[in-house]
Amino acid sequence: MANAKDIREGGCLCGAVRYRVDLTEATHSTCHCRHCQKTHGAPFGMFTVVPVEYFTWLSEPAGEARASDRAVRRFCVQCGTPMTWESPEYPDQQSFSSATLDDPSGLTIAYELFVSRRFPFIAPIEGAKQYQADWEA
Ligand SMILES: [Zn+2]
Ligand SMILES: [Zn+2]
């Protein structure tokens, strides 16, 4: 089992952006911060984090937006799908929108961020660590 890989592909809604990822060491999370709510146009964002060498772009997103100095959010300029959250604070990690996986089955959410901003009709995910704000807060 040590060498078992979980290779999957994903992409944006229109297919212009594509990637391949090994989920063997992936961590999945949700973020309820206002930036994620706004940029995803949804109650929360859902992100998968993998070691950067486990992630390969097949075709990269051209769109870049910054909601803060901490990170750039990359998106498809053709269809607007939010693809990544990339911060120089974590150069060895790749964080991408979990929902863009072609096969998003079997993902377990390890933690939830900014639950202080959670929409009142969204329940906490059972078993997931709950952080009021950032994972450092
Ligand atoms: Zn697209
Ligand atoms: Zn967020």
Nearest of 100, 4, 107 to residue 57 by alpha carbon: 100
C-alpha 21 – ligand 1 centre gap (Å): 18
pLDDT in tens, 64-100: 999 888 899 999 999 999 999 999 999 999 999 999 9
Instruction: Report which residue type is found at 112.
Output: E
Is 114 inside any structural domain?
Answer: yes
pLDDT of residue 4: 82
Mean pLDDT over 24-33 rounds to 97
Token pair listed for 23: 């989920």
Q: What whole-number distance in Å separates Cα of residue 35 and Cα of residue 45?
A: 9
Across 20-24, 53-57, 97-101, 131-135, least confident range? 131-135
Q: Which domain holds residue 61?
A: 7-130
Domain-embedded: residue 92: yes
CA of 14 to the centre of ligand 1 (A): 4
pLDDT at 116 over 60: yes
Query: Which tokens in the block code for residue 137?
Result: 């807060």
3-state helix/strand/coil string of 27-92: EEEEECCHHHHHHHCCCCEEEEEEEHHHEEEEECCCEEECCCCCCEEEECCCCCCEEEEECCCCCC
Instruction: Please give the mean pLDDT across all residues of the chain.
Output: 94
Whether 137 is covered by a domain: the verdict is no
> How many whole angstroms separate alpha carbon 32 and alpha carbon 39?
11
Is 101 among the domain residues?
yes
- Position 32 scores a pLDDT of 97
Q: Which residues are found with C-beta within 5 Å of the ion, ligand 1? A: 12, 14, 16, 76, 78-79
Residue 136 lies in a domain: no
